[in-house]
Amino acid sequence: MYKYFWLVLVFLTAIKTYSQTASQPLELPNFIIEGKEQIDVQVGTKQMPSFPTTLSRATMDSLIIVGKPRNYIVFPITFPNTIISKKFPDGFISGNIGSFLSANISAGYKTSFKEYEIYPFGELNFSKGHLENANYTKLRLGVQTDYLAPEKFYIFGGSKTTTFINFEYKNYKLYAISSPPDRNQINFEGKIVSTGHFEGFDFNTGAILYSTNQTGGGESLGENTIGGFLEIKNRTIYNNFGGRISLDLRSFENNSAPFFETYTYGEFISGNFKIVPELGFQFAKSSRGKNRPMVLIAAKGQIEINPQLALFAKISNKLQNYSFRDFLKRNPYLDDSISLDYANISELQTNIKYQPTKDLTIVLGANLSIYKRLPTFTVSNYGYFNIEYLDATIFSINAEGFWVNEIFGRISAIAKVTSSSQNSNKKDVPLTPLLNFRTDYSRNVFDNIRTGIFFEYVGERFADVENKFSLSNYKNLGFFVEYEPNSSLIFSCNIENLLNSNIVYWYGYKEWGFNFKLGLTYKF
């Protein structure tokens, strides 16, 4: 694995040296928006990150974590939910203090050096905790640079190269256990991505380097990944063709667990109808030595019935790429006996979108997923969770939409009904509720004052494969107000769990009850 580490360092250094030979001034587009990881939820909603779902994206999207906006059609995003945004013309410093002696301070600043646009940022978050031994500390440091290559460079002329480096440290306790052990997480992430156009082809290429370690509460676990990818697309008037190849050379606990993928695709457009077929090959290997070859096949279709109504459909069969890094960010209470494997998912999705105006959209959809080796969190010992790889079938119906009105304000909602079954014992898939729902409303009371409220409901679900342990349903109600006296200052107040509900995402780990946060942000 070490030879790959040195290989990526040479690659990154070569790109940096190559790009520094440019002589013309930088004309850089806006920074890309680097959202906070899902571990960094807003407000004092819980001790550590919690994703009470299986690990497929479709299932994860079925739950809404307190105070953390997900990828819905519209969700009112408040400053500074993203590290890099147009709201930060040069820099910012933000701080807040709230319940349980919790505090957070974050800062970032945009500057230029030679031909580079540079954005360093950092964040410190700590709390005494809502229960005994629920204290934690989190630190994040990072930097992003953007570089627009001059036209004189062959192939890369006019391309945009973004480099992103991020370091995270977290210290907490497995507070569900009596005499809980301390646990530490260390995560390093490095990315370099270049996007451009050459001789009628669009390209997107880059390299990644990840290193993740968990210590405490059992044996230490470590993962290292080095990878790269290249995607090329040829644009024509009616049809587009392209392909992608990617390789993750992953090592988990000194066991190789690589993931390789290559495929080609086409976009065929005829009037109001578009279809995008994909065909390729995937190969992966579990950390226990099992080979997972797969023929990737997929097709997406879209038809616009009229300017207000559109239908979407997708059918696919493929492997999904997971890592220990992904698992740990979703569940910080894993035991030390997990393994890495890759799910095979056969999926059918359909959606209908009704959008009579730009301020009103309604989407209705259904999804059928048949899994082999679906990675699922399940209770092992009290306070610890293992990952079981299940064969399962999940069917869901969902509805979401938003409405924006100049007088009334902005409202968005999402609801999902899910039926799940394990193929082996016909029991429910752990941590998959039958019903969940959320709605958000916000309104500008005055030009410089904004208020909002949200309500969410998550139904009962089981916490283990045998369905012996269950988690009760819960309701969560929250409120916020923001006051912006000028373009540089934002005062905020957030209150969550107004109903003081008994919220439990992970069996044995009760989340925060009623809590509040007062904050101040200064932009410069």
Q: Is 101 helix (H, G, I), strand (E, B) or coil?
A: helix
pLDDT at 113: 81
Name the strand (E) or helix (H) holding 18.
helix 2-19
- Assign domain 2-523 to its CATH architecture: Beta Barrel (2.40)
Let me know if 200 is exposed, middle or buried by CB neighbors in 10 A (0-12, 13-18, 19+): exposed
- Cβ pair 416, 434 in contact under 8 A: no
So where are the chain's domains?
A: 2-523
pLDDT at 114: 76
pLDDT at 153: 66
pLDDT at 6: 42
**Structure token pair of residue 425:** 């014992």
How far apart (Å, rounded) are the C-alpha atoms in residues 297 and 278? 6
- Cβ pair 214, 187 in contact under 8 A: no
Give the side-chain half-sphere CA count within 13 A for 121. 27
- Cβ pair 109, 120 in contact under 8 A: yes
Q: Is 9 helix (H, G, I), strand (E, B) or coil?
A: helix
Q: Which residues, including other chains, have CB under 8 Å from residue 86's CB and lie 6 or more apart?
A: 30
Q: Is 326 helix (H, G, I), strand (E, B) or coil?
A: helix
In tens digits, the chain (524 residues) has pLDDT values of: 434 344 434 334 333 333 333 322 222 223 332 333 332 222 222 333 333 333 333 333 333 233 333 222 222 223 333 333 334 458 999 999 999 999 999 999 998 887 789 999 999 999 999 999 999 999 999 999 988 877 666 666 667 889 999 999 999 999 999 999 999 999 999 999 998 887 778 889 999 999 999 999 989 999 999 999 999 998 776 688 999 999 999 999 999 999 999 999 999 988 899 999 999 999 999 999 999 999 999 999 999 999 999 999 999 999 999 899 999 999 999 999 999 999 999 999 999 999 999 999 999 999 999 999 999 999 988 999 999 999 999 999 999 999 999 889 999 999 999 999 999 999 999 999 999 999 999 999 988 999 999 999 999 999 999 999 999 999 999 999 999 999 899 999 999 999 999 999 999 999 999 999 999 999 98
- Cβ pair 159, 146 in contact under 8 A: no
pTM for the full predicted model: 0.80
pLDDT at 39: 28
Q: What is the DSSP letter of 397?
A: E
How far apart (Å, rounded) are the C-alpha atoms in residues 382 and 375? 19
